[in-house]
Amino acid sequence: QVQLVESGGGLVQAGGSLRLSCAASGLRFVRSAMGWYRQAPGKQRELVAAITSGGSTNYGDSAKGRFTISRDNAKNTVYLQMDSLKPEDTAVYYCNAHTLMFDYWGQGAQVTVSS
């Protein structure tokens, strides 16, 4: 059974930082591409950042220059370091694991940025 458990969300003031973590179990993490997506109220889910099994990264336009995705294969964990947060970053952030057969999703972590 695949499980993705996000942690690290919360309330932060504009300009602040947060680090999200996603602990994965039940899949071959080292061979999985991992990603972070977000969904704000009334909006579609959008890519924030992704990292391949080989460590290559890709960022959504809103995250470029402010967010950093990384992974620790020894801990089966992917991270999202978010700096210079803005109120428009407020959303539920979802961890995603992309394998050859399926896409898996975490339950989501709320990030709220106050102005």
Give 36-95 pLDDT, tens digit per residue. Answer: 999 999 999 999 999 999 999 999 999 999 999 999 999 999 999 999 999 999 999 999
Q: Is 30 exposed, middle or buried, given 0-12, 13-18 or 19+ CB atoms closer than 10 A? A: exposed
Q: List the one residue out of 46, 5, 9 whose CA is nearest residue 23.
A: 5
Helix, strand, or coil here: 106? Answer: coil
pLDDT tens-digit map of 78-87: 999 999 999 9
CB atoms < 10 A from the CB of 2, how many?
Answer: 13
Give the residue from 84, 52, 79 showing the smallest Cα distance to 65.
84
* Spatial separation of the C-alpha atoms in residues 87 and 39, rounded to whole Å: 14
First to last CA, the chain: 40
